[in-house]
């Protein structure tokens, strides 16, 4: 099968404008005749729902939480990129485009990334108009700060609460449409299956998490904005409810899953502190603007930080990468932190941490200035660790944070399944093998506010569909399968808890498919997880009933999907015999231990097709063609 990316021709800077003009339009009076389902209410889902309803479509929006305001987008802290060049430091759309392509280690589609850089300028204006309280300079202009992988200041921020403030902006726009009757909001619903009729996505099956009732909903198009799958690792910075189920159900109905092995490790997380810890906490990348990363020069030095003199400190990022220093991209900073800990220079009780020190910044600018920039982050750190980061350095260590892989989409953000659109972190399209900091919020809002309103209209106007209702046999069959699966889980009555299986799965993936991978470890993990999956379906215990508020049943379904999906991740990692971005295969590295790409054989997107429960998935390739940037070895020195 040929994957058609539907990228328009012509110069890169003119493609999106040209494409918008060529897309078919829906008459304003006809828009109200179309029903659209949006799953997820983070920045991508909230923006899409509000924008589509504003245009006149009837929208059904589903969220797994009790309110759209609780979407995981709220956890993003540091900022959102926008190529507005307010500091007059040389930024441009072209610079943001290049930084994003390079930061993703040349494994993203040029056209999608350039469009994202173009949209970034309008996103900032949109959010300001909504009342998002971005930080401002003394004269009133919006303030900017730097982020990893860039040598300009292009990141707009609201202290350490940027995601929360942007989500409130999208939520206010969504609420307006709910009040106007154009959006029907379904809270506490979990999507458990996608309904495909005549090779078109025509609806979803959801479970009411309060009553246990199974519901069917039909539509002319389905928009998935369900986030990433980082919780497959058990310990991650994601919200506890984040999962892969919606995407994986779509995959099993025919949507291709692209680059599942591309997962991001964030370098500035609070280290693991206990065996029974259930999640990790991110300390914003913005802290690397003023914080200096260091370890003791001598391995095994366990003195407190304030007893280690300057001459005995190793500022390893500043020394190895003089051009970018502490602001190298996340994959690079994470590997270097692991490297320091592996040679015995790690700090803290476990030795799996490095210091992030603000002493110099506080002395230079004063505590008041640092508190205005990062006060809530410092407060959060102190609450969790009982240490004051104004007086002692923070301790940080890499952790799973984001997933660059996701369902394959074309330039219109539609999957290979007609009528199934995928936005934000749930798709693969913009970040390649490593996401630059402050780009997740940018992508979610670009997809929701500025791309899907055009492209979904082109689909609805240009594609014929039969009228269907939830009485169609495809809906009834999907409901039967969903109920049978839940009854199966409840009937096992085994001896191991869901969390016990999930924790073992996560540890296996972290060890063998985490910050570094090798063929032997990946094959070992694949066999172990296959056995773990078999034991899960024989020995898991899920108390309660189907028609109840049953969080054990919720988690069991998600972990069952994680167990199956993780094998696709590993298959993808085994197939990609190179290192790029967050996929670091130990057999492919430079003399300086940096990722070594193989552009001749692996300059492509790996899109995996489900072939059956008892068969291996089939890989399809979308070649990546670079006409506007030169494929070079990444360097941040």
Distance (Å, whole) CA 520 – CA 306: 42
Reported as type and span, the H/E element at residue 587 is none
**159 is an active site residue:** no
Distance (Å, whole) CA 193 – CA 4: 25
- Residues 6+ away with beta carbon under 8 Å from 181: none
Of 99, 110, 101, 97, the closest CA to residue 149 belongs to: 99
Q: Give the pairing type, strands 420-422 and 394-403.
A: unpaired
Catalytic residue among 154, 159, 249, 330: 330
CA dihedral of 365, 369, 375, 379, whole degrees rounded to 10? 40
Distance (Å, whole) CA 390 – CA 395: 13
Query: Taking the CA atoms of the chain, what radius of gyration do you get in angstroms?
Result: 24
Ramachandran angles phi, psi of 185, nearest 5°: -100, 125
Distance (Å, whole) CA 384 – CA 372: 20
Ranges assigned E (strand) in 404-491? 406-407, 420-422
Work out the angle at residue 378's Cα, subtended by the Cα atoms of residues 374 and 382, and round it to the nearest 5 degrees. 175
Reported as type and span, the H/E element at residue 317 is helix 316-320
Distance (Å, whole) CA 586 – CA 590: 10
Reported as type and span, the H/E element at residue 553 is helix 551-575
Distance (Å, whole) CA 328 – CA 151: 10
Distance (Å, whole) CA 46 – CA 409: 20
Distance (Å, whole) CA 552 – CA 534: 19
CB 501 within 8 Å of CB 492: no
Crossing angle of helices 15-22/110-129, nearest 10°?
80
Ramachandran angles phi, psi of 567, nearest 5°: -70, -30
Q: In DSSP terms, which residues pair with 386 in a beta bridge?
A: none
Q: In DSSP terms, which residues pair with 400 in a beta bridge?
A: 265
Distance (Å, whole) CA 565 – CA 559: 10
> What distance lies between CA 221 and its chain's CA centroid?
23
Using left for φ > 0, alpha for ψ between -120 and 50, and beta otherwise, residue 165 falls in alpha
Task: Please state, in angstroms and as integers, the Cα–Cα distance from residue 45 to each residue in 132, 426, 452, following that order.
Answer: 18, 11, 10
CB 460 within 8 Å of CB 200: no
Distance (Å, whole) CA 202 – CA 383: 47
Indicate which residues carry an active-site annotation: 330
């Amino acid at each position: 099968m040929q994957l058609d990316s539907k990228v328009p021709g012509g110069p890169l800077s003119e493609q999106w404008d040209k494409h918008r003009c060529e897309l078919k339009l829906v008459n304003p009076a006809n828009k109200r005749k179309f029903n659209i389902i949006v799953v997820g209410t983070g920045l991508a889902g909230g923006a899409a729902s509000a924008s589509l309803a504003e245009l006149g479509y009837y929208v059904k929006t589903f969220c797994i939480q009790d309110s759209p305001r609780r979407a995981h987008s709220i956890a993003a802290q540091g900022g959102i990129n926008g190529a507005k060049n307010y500091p007059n430091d040389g930024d441009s759309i072209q610079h943001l485009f290049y930084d994003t392509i390079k930061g993703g280690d040349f494994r993203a589609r040029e056209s999608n990334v350039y469009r994202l850089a173009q949209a970034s300028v309008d996103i900032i204006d949109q959010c300001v108009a909504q009342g998002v309280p971005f930080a401002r300079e003394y004269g009133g202009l919006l303030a900017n700060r730097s982020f990893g992988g860039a040598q300009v200041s292009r990141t707009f921020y609201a202290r350490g609460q940027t995601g929360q403030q942007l989500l409130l902006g999208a939520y206010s726009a969504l609420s307006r449409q709910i009040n106007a009757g154009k959006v029907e909001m379904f809270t506490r619903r979990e999507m458990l299956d996608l309904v495909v009729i005549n090779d078109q996505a025509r609806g979803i099956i959801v479970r009411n998490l309060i009553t246990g009732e199974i519901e069917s909903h039909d539509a002319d198009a389905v928009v998935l904005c369900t986030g990433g799958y980082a919780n497959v690792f058990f310990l991650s910075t994601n919200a506890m409810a984040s999962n892969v189920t919606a995407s994986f159900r779509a995959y099993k109905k025919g949507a291709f899953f692209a680059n599942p092995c591309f997962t991001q490790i964030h370098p500035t997380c609070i280290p693991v502190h206990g065996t029974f810890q259930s999640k990790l906490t991110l300390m914003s990348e913005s802290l690397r603007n003023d914080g200096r990363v260091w370890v003791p020069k001598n391995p095994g030095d366990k003195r407190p930080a304030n007893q280690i003199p300057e001459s005995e400190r190793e500022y390893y990022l500043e020394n190895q990468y003089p051009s970018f220093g502490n602001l190298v991209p996340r994959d690079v900073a994470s590997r270097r932190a692991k490297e320091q800990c592996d040679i015995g220079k790690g700090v803290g009780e476990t030795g799996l941490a490095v210091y992030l020190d603000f002493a110099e910044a506080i002395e230079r600018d004063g505590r008041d200035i640092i508190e205005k920039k990062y006060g809530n982050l410092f407060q959060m750190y102190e609450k969790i660790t009982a240490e004051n980061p104004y007086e002692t350095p923070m301790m940080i260590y890499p952790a799973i944070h984001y997933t660059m892989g996701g369902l394959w989409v074309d330039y219109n953000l539609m999957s290979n399944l007609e009528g199934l659109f995928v936005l934000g972190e749930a798709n693969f399209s913009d970040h390649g093998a490593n996401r630059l900091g402050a780009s997740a919020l940018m992508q979610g809002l670009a997809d929701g506010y500025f791309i899907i309103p055009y492209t979904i209209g082109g689909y609805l106007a240009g594609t014929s569909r039969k009228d269907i209702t939830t009485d169609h046999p495809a809906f009834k069959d999907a409901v039967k399968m969903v109920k049978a699966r839940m009854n199966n889980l409840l009937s096992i009555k085994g001896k191991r808890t869901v969390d016990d299986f999930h924790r073992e799965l996560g540890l296996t993936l972290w060890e063998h498919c985490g910050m570094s991978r090798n063929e032997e470890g990946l094959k070992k993990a694949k066999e172990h997880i296959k056995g773990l999956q078999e034991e899960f379906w024989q020995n898991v215990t899920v108390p309660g009933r189907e028609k109840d508020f049953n969080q054990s049943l919720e988690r069991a379904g998600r972990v069952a999907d994680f167990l199956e999906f993780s094998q696709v991740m590993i298959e993808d990692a085994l197939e990609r015999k190179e290192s790029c971005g967050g996929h670091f295969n130990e057999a492919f590295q430079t003399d300086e231990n940096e990722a070594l790409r193989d552009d001749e054989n692996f300059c492509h997107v790996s899109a995996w097709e489900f072939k059956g429960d008892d068969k291996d998935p089939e890989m399809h390739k979308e070649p990546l063609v670079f006409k506007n940037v030169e494929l070079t070895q990444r360097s941040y020195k």
